[in-house]
Structure 1
Amino acid sequence: MSDTLAVMRTLVLVMVTAVAAFGQGARGPGRNGLGGSAAGFVQNPTLDKEAPQLPADLKPGGILIFSKTVGYRDEPGIQASVAALSVIAKMKGWPYFATENGAVMNAEQLSKFKLVIGNNTSGDNLNDDQKAAFRAWVEKGGSFLGIHGAGGDPVGNHGHTSLADWKWYIESLIGAQFTVHSAGVMPGDIKVEDTKHPIMKGLPATWHRSEEWYAFTESPRKKPGYHILASADEKSYTPGPATMPGGDHPLVWTHCAGSGHVVYSALGHAGFMYSEPLMIQLLENAMAWGLAENGKACK
């Protein structure tokens, strides 16, 4: 059995257990900041001041899975994505640590990792010192993988703080500002533009799947140094207001932020998506790429 299939089978069991527990109210009111609801805007968000304790046996050079939300939060999606990323890392033998504590963004603890994953993060979720530490870590060569919601909240953000307020994050780290999405999850086609890139390994040239289709203020294709790996075929679904000029609608891309290697994927809204074999393949590829590129010259 391939690694991907083994991961998928394990994930199904993990996610069914997690979602069932959530449905029974295992987390309890307030644990997710939503009063027990599955999705919505975090109520009374706070910024973290005390750093988490890393496991004593955590080996250096691993992955930090960071999922802090102070804006919109989809609880089942967060649970499923953390489970997926954790199982992939475990089965590949990559050290990892998952947290929602923003105080982990300090020079000492970040030095333990080669890759930080912004997993459906939302809102202006770090204080100024944490932002400075994370930015310095990336620009000195740390790798970053942004997933779906990590693309930034719309300006205004329903009265909540927005990642749009952090200009470096939007303009230099992600490279585009999320503005609006399709009217819910719907099936459509993804065009894999660079089938030879390591992140696209094993994915079909046309990938048909269901997604909440993100649109952005501009196509990062126009920006120097950005490499588009996959884009949406707007003719294959009903984008509504979530269209982009000329139908140029990138969804997955790479670039450099200082000396740091960055990959962003707009895919991964709903929990069920993290049991899809091709989604698992994409995540595994992106994680492997981020780890491998860390420390290499970024052009």
Structure 2
Amino acid sequence: MASRRSLLTFFLAALLLTAPTTLHAQAPPRSFRVLAIAEKGGIHRPFVDAAIVWLAKEAVLDHFTIDYIEDTTPIDDEYLSHYKLFLQLNYPPYMWTPTAAAAFHRYIEEGRGGWIGFHHATLLGTFDGYEMDPWFYRFMGSIRFKSYIPTFATATVTVEDPTHPVMKGVPTTFLIDREEWYTYDTTPRPNVRVLATVDEKTYTPDTPIKMGGDHPVVWTNEHVKARNLYIFMGHRSDHFSNPAFTTIFHNAILWASQ
């Protein structure tokens, strides 16, 4: 009888010891808020519209809420303090108010939240009467926009850094259909951690508009505190039917918002 009581005591103690772990494992995932700034219209609007649809589903899966703005007028330090992640959905690196630009710089430099930028975020130079922002120029790896493929080209992207969390579950190579690949005056590689490059030899149809070898298309700048990722691909809505593209975007949201 005594041995039975001892055995029962042992099992009760074991249950109490394991209960906190079980309860912790069943705790709901953290929730967070995301801010997305998107172009109002024009040629990039189909990508933005597709992103909004995809992000609505992703928000449910990954437990976040998302707000959208179409210009930088609301942005200041207090406004950004409510968000763990800032998405730049093809909004260019100019047309920012001075207050918004300064608040964004602090947000990134001090690691107040994460950032994911797409495509148009590297349109660096003098455009629409706006001079290039020197801070954004450095943030994007000290590159200046040079040209692009207006007729679009299909090409193979090669994952260069498969160990990075953003590349988890992404094939070593994958096809991006009909993108208007940008070229820059130089590669950002000396100033950023390159995660993927486009193989210019695979451009279909072929084009003379090339970087000439090293052409990064996904990278992160590790010289700032904020987790950040630039994804060049972002002109066409069809990218949201590409599992490699959506896996990178999904991974980036979870990683950059930490």
TM bin (shorter chain): 0.7 to 0.9
Instruction: Indicate whether 1:103 and 2:90 are aligned.
Output: no
Paired amino acid for 1:98: Y
SS in 2 for 1:283: helix
Q: Which residue of 2 aligns with 1:125?
A: 95
Q: Unpaired runs of 5+ in structure 1?
A: 1-58, 293-299
Per-residue Cα deviation, 1:77-113 (whole angstroms, up to 9, x for no partner): 2211232233322321122212213123211110011
Give 4+ residue runs of structure 1 displaced > 4 Å after superposition: none
Instruction: Indicate whether 1:204 and 2:174 are aligned.
Output: no
Whether the aligned pair in 1 keeps the contact of 2:227 and 2:255 (CA below 8 Å) is: no
Q: Which residue of 1 aligns with 2:226?
A: 260
TM-score normalized with structure 1 length: 0.69
Decide whether aligned partners of structure 1 residues 174 and 121 sit closer, same or farther in structure 2, where only a CA change above 3 A counts: farther
Which of 112, 118, 131 matches 2:82? Answer: 112
Paired amino acid for 1:222: P
Report the CA distance between 1:73 and its aligned residue: 4.5
SS in 1 for 2:137: helix
SS in 2 for 1:240: coil
Write the distance in 1 (CA, Å) between the matches of 2:159 and 2:50.
24
Report the CA distance between 1:228 and its aligned residue: 0.7
Paired amino acid for 1:148: H
Q: Which residue of 1 aligns with 2:21?
A: none
Which of 176, 185, 192 matches 2:152? Answer: 185
TM-score normalized with structure 2 length: 0.79
Whether the aligned pair in 2 keeps the contact of 1:268 and 1:274 (CA below 8 Å) is: no
Decide whether aligned partners of structure 1 residues 277 and 263 sit closer, same or farther in structure 2, where only a CA change above 3 A counts: same
Decide whether aligned partners of structure 1 residues 248 and 213 sit closer, same or farther in structure 2, where only a CA change above 3 A counts: same
Q: Which residue of 2 aligns with 1:90?
A: 60
Whether the aligned pair in 2 keeps the contact of 1:192 and 1:231 (CA below 8 Å) is: yes
Whether the aligned pair in 2 keeps the contact of 1:180 and 1:241 (CA below 8 Å) is: no
Instruction: Indicate whether 1:144 and 2:104 are aligned.
Output: no
Q: Which residue of 2 aligns with 1:217?
A: 185
Report the CA distance between 1:271 and its aligned residue: 1.3
Per-residue Cα deviation, 1:15-45 (whole angstroms, up to 9, x for no partner): xxxxxxxxxxxxxxxxxxxxxxxxxxxxxxx
Report the CA distance between 1:287 and its aligned residue: 1.0
Q: Unpaired runs of 5+ in structure 2?
A: 1-29
Whether the aligned pair in 1 keeps the contact of 2:122 and 2:140 (CA below 8 Å) is: no
Q: Which residue of 2 aligns with 1:135?
A: 105
Decide whether aligned partners of structure 1 residues 170 and 73 sit closer, same or farther in structure 2, where only a CA change above 3 A counts: farther
Alignment RMSD, CA only? Answer: 2.3
Report the CA distance between 1:274 and its aligned residue: 1.8
Per-residue Cα deviation, 1:161-186 (whole angstroms, up to 9, x for no partner): 45x62111122245433322223332
Write the distance in 2 (CA, Å) between the matches of 1:261 and 1:133.
16
Q: Which residue of 2 aligns with 1:7?
A: none
SS in 2 for 1:168: helix
